[in-house]
Every structure is written in structure tokens, then in C-alpha cells.
Amino acid sequence: VSPIETRHRADAARRRAAAVAALAYLILALLPLLLALGPPRPAGRRFWLELSLALGFVALGQIALQLALIARFQRISEPFGIDLVMRYHRHLGVLATLMVLAHVLLLGWQRPALWRALVPGGGGGAALGTGAWSTLAVLLLIVLSFWRRPLGLGYEAWRVSHALLGIAALVLALAHVLLAGVYAAAAWKQAILALWGAAFVGLIAFLRLVKPIALARRPWQVAEVRPDVRGCWTLALEPVGHAGLGFAPGQFAWLKVGVSPWSVREHPLSFSSSAERPERLEFGIKEAGDFTRTVGALAPGTRAFLDGPHGSFSCDFHPTPGFVFVAGGIGITPILSMLRTLADRGSGDPHALVYACSAWDRLVFRGDIEALRDRLDLTVAYVLEEGPEGWSGPVGYIDRETLASALGQNPTARQVFVCGPDPMMDAVEALLRDCGVPGRRITMERFNLV
């Protein structure tokens, strides 16, 4: 079976997996509403009251599914790409919040006595109280997510608060439904809802408590830290007591280094090494904050743990003869992994790289890219914001002309991979479409998930 045929099969399998995951998602998200609609059901209620409760049940389903979306199950996220999953997670979070608010406002409009019952001593009871606390948890979660930086909340603290508030919102909303007992009064409905909710909380418990046991069994250690251009490092890891980690070139892993496998201090980093070398993994890291600024000082032998591989930003998942890569700054890392792997596999297909950077001496991995030109049919265009003296290549940002030249005669023939800063990715996506590249031929990886 040829490599292209293998990739065709993988592509078809991914489409099937995406369809199954989307269907399962829909069923699980709508389960509370379907249960509420099933008999026995109170009769003779007004439309606005019914609508309010329907919105509440749909919101409950969405809140629960939010936990599954971030539970890092590669089988769920891989067919869509982590980028898309996280974007969906954000949009859905806002939608679920609007539904919760609509539920509360419609209910308060139909039953004004409920507002009075909400005040302390108002006699609202546990059913109303749990609903109110769940709504507050949802609102706080949204406020902290949108205004994390102005509020001065660090990334790790935010992640912990995000997970805890999400679980609290779900558990309280579920208790609210079960205690209210109007649409879920039947014992069988209550049992199904309780099991359904427990499964989602269990997912998070699995990710945070059980999965680290598996990580602890497959430790890694720092083998080498090499400086590249100013502020960029290559971190090499080697397995301790196991054979390493297989991955598709371009994927990433969550790295914990110098901390316990249960620590919340972990960072997503793309592999920059060849997938043909699972026994020595490398990451290209740019200093951006607390953790990345300490990478240069990591001592060989420091213990590390890897949760991965994750992601769908990989040439292995696309069956085109040859690829076009567009990188900006440190976004070159997953692309370098793909190029190194293609070279190790003896690829004879035509590939093109457009690599944008602020200046010549800021181009990360330039030496490696130049060496890869000898091993691959690879054309390279560096685009510099500021060219050095005598520079005759493109200057400024990536433009249509440079992309059109990399794409060649047939802009639909090769899969295009884009990774770099957000504004660059948005601009490049628009230019690619303008050059006639269809959406399905563009694969993007955003380093900025939050």
C-alpha cells in the first residue's frame, strides 16, 4: 500500500470518526431535554414556562458536554482538530450561558414569586437555591475566562478555577433538576440523569487523578537543552525505562517538567523532531512567560512527563502528493517535525515552505531548514519584516504573490499547513482562499488556545 493510499484510508477513517463523534455528542447533549419531554410530564403549562424549562435542560446538556470537550480524548478531538474543538468550547460556553440566563429570566417573568423566594430567608428551598448557585458559577466562569488578564489571574490558577467552577455548575444544575422534580420526577429519569452527570464528572476525575498514574509509569528525562536564536531553545527528552512515544509529525504533547505527574503546571508543546525517532523527542520552545523562560536553565536528568500525542495538525492525515507549509516565528516547530519526518521517510514529493519572521537573525531552526533542502524537494521563501543589508527576498508580511508562488499551478493539489501568531494565521487564511485554496485544503494550528 502506497503512502498516499495509507493517508487516503486514514482520511476516510477520520471522517467516519468525526460523524460518529458528532452524533454521539448530539445525543448526549440533548439527553436531559429528551428525558424531560418523555412521559410522565406535567400538562397544561404555558408556552413561555415550557420554553424556559426546555432552555434549562438544553443548557444542562451543554454544560456537561463542555467537560467532555476539554477532557483531552484524542479520539474525540483528533478528527476535528484541537483548534476547532477549543473554539467550539468557547462559543458553546457563551451559548450555554445565554440559555441559562434566558431560562432564569423567562421563569422569573412567568413566576415572579420566585424572585422574592431567592432572597435569604425567602423560603426558596433547595431546588431554587441549587439553581441560583449553578447560575452564579456559570456567570463567574464566563467573567474569569473573558477578563482573566485584567483581573490579574495567572494561567494555572485560571485553569483550576475553570475546572472547579465547571464541575460545580454541572453538579448544582443537576441537583436543581432532580430536586425540582417537575419534569424529572420519575425514578427512572432521575437514575439516568444521575448516571449521566456522574459520567461527566468522572471524566474530569479520570483526567486529573487517574491519567497521571499512566504518565508516572512512563517517565522521561531532560537529555539536552540547546540554544537556538535569542530566546529560543530546543529541549530534548529521552525515555526512562520504556521505548518512547509514537506520534504523527506536527502533533503536540502536554509537558510537565520538574514537577509531579499530578501537577497542574503543564504546557502544550509541539514536537519538533522526526516522528521516525520516538526514542528521542525534541521541542522548539520560545520564551513567552513563567515556564518557557526557565527552559534554558533545565538541568539534564530533570524528570518530565508527557501526555500525548494530541492534535490533528499533521501531514500524515492528508493524502495529497506534497505539502505547502506556512510558518510564522515559533510556529515553525510542528512544521519542522513534518519536514524532518518526510526527509527521514525519503519523500520525493514537491514541498514548499513560506517562513515569516521579524528579522534574519530571528529565524528559528534556519540551519536545520537549510540542511533539509538537500534531503527534500523543498522550495523555501523567507519573508522578513526587516531584511538585512543586501536582502533581495520578500519584506513585510506574507503576501498573495509569495503564497501563489509556493502553491504553484494548482492551488488545490496540496494540503496547506499554517502555524504562527493569530493575526498572521487569519491574514494567511484569507489570502489562501483568495488564491483558490478550498477550506478543506487548509489545516491550522493555533498556539494561543485561550
Interacting residues toward ligand FAD by CB under 6 A: 155, 252, 266-270, 283-286, 288-292, 311, 330, 333, 445, 447-450
178 in Cβ contact with 194 (< 8 Å) = yes
Q: How does strand 303-310 pair with strand 323-328?
A: unpaired
Q: How far is the CB of 283 from ligand FAD (least distance, A)?
A: 6
Q: How far is the CB of 233 from ligand FAD (least distance, A)?
A: 9
Q: How far is the CB of 276 from ligand FAD (least distance, A)?
A: 19
Q: How far is the CB of 288 from ligand FAD (least distance, A)?
A: 4
Cell of 81: 482538530
Which residue lies nearer to ligand FAD by CB, 289 or 348? 289
The single residue listed with the C-alpha cell 489562501 is: 432
Which residue lies nearer to ligand FAD by CB, 173 or 444? 444
Q: Which residue is nearest to ligand FAD (CB)?
A: 289
Q: How does strand 303-310 pair with strand 252-257?
A: antiparallel
Which residue lies nearer to ligand FAD by CB, 183 or 247? 247
Q: How far is the CB of 149 from ligand FAD (least distance, A)?
A: 7
Cell of 358: 521579524
Q: How does strand 323-328 pair with strand 350-359?
A: parallel
Which residue lies nearer to ligand FAD by CB, 197 or 329? 329
Which residue lies nearer to ligand FAD by CB, 183 or 252? 252
What region does 390 belong to: left with phi over 0, alpha with psi -120 to 50, or beta?
A: left
What region does 73 belong to: left with phi over 0, alpha with psi -120 to 50, or beta?
A: beta
- Rounded CA-CA distance 314/81 in Å is 10
Q: How far is the CB of 251 from ligand FAD (least distance, A)?
A: 9
Which residue lies nearer to ligand FAD by CB, 16 or 149? 149
DSSP 8-class letter at 210: I
Residues 379-382: contacts with CB within 8 Å, 24+ apart? Answer: 379/350, 379/351, 379/352, 379/353, 379/406, 380/352, 380/353, 380/355, 381/352, 381/353, 381/354, 381/355, 381/405, 381/406, 382/355, 382/356, 382/357
Which residue lies nearer to ligand FAD by CB, 155 or 360? 155
Q: How far is the CB of 121 from ligand FAD (least distance, A)?
A: 43
